[in-house]
Amino acid sequence: MKITTSSDFRKARHTLGLSVAQCASLCNVNERTIRRWETGAGRGDGREPHPSACRLMELALEQATNADTA
């Protein structure tokens, strides 16, 4: 799954079963940042999900999928 939007990011977090706090810890940001990314708050103000955080979530999804099939 390619994560590029706020909606994609939120869906990935829910699929992984992560709380906002857990996701914030994984991405090394605070919880407010995760909430802003997921709601798209401040669009055009740098509040879309950061590309590196999106990649982290993609890798976590891949790892979870591989663990399920192993």
Residue range 19-40, pLDDT digits in tens: 999 999 999 999 999 999 998 8
Structural domain contains residue 45: yes
Question: In CATH, what number is assigned to the domain containing residue 39?
Answer: 1.10.260.40
What is the residue range of 12's domain? 6-69
Residue 1 belongs to a domain? no
Measured CA to CA, the distance from residue 40 to residue 7 in angstroms comes to: 8
Would you state the pLDDT for residue 36? 92
52-69 pLDDT, tens digit each: 999 999 999 999 989 878
In this prediction the pTM is: 0.85
What angle separates helix 6-16 from helix 20-27, to the nearest 10 degrees? 110
Look at the chain and report how many structural domains it folds into: 1
Q: Is 37 inside a domain boundary?
A: yes
Residue 63, in any domain of the structure: yes
Q: What burial class does residue 23 get, using C-beta atoms within 10 Å of its C-beta: 0-12 exposed, 13-18 middle, 19+ buried?
A: buried
The H-or-E segment that residue 7 falls in is helix 6-16
Determine the distance from the C-alpha atom of residue 19 to the mean position of all C-alpha atoms in its chain, rounded to a whole number.
11
Does 41 fall in a domain? Answer: yes
